[in-house]
Amino acid sequence: MCSGGVDLTPYRYQCTAKGWIKSWFTLRGIFSLAVMGAVIYYGWPVIEAILIMLPIPDPSELKNKAKEAGSKAMEMVSGTKKNNEPVGYQS
């Protein structure tokens, strides 16, 4: 941890962004980055196949639902409908 006291762990935790970035330029950090890069590079066909098989909804449909919900929320906040009649006094 980053607080005071006796540190009994052999690993040094970095408390600042500079220290965290600096920790990647050790032998262990470079090896870890190389392994992660190789897994992503050589495993990309499998990752892509899994992403294609997932039932991800159409983004345009989500966008339209968000616009609709936003307009309903604005109607509730402003107290008027789109035709500028007050909510309780519709003809």
55-73 mean pLDDT: 85
**Of the candidates 9, 12, 7, 8, the residue with the CA atom closest to the CA atom of residue 26:** 12
Q: Is the pTM of this model over 0.85?
A: no
Separation between Cα atoms, residue 70 and residue 81, nearest integer Å: 13
38-54 mean pLDDT: 92
85-90 mean pLDDT: 60
Cβ–Cβ < 8 Å for 53, 59: no
Query: In terms of pLDDT, which residue wins out, 75 or 91?
Result: 75
Q: Tens of pLDDT along 2-40?
A: 556 666 666 666 678 887 788 778 898 899 999 999 999
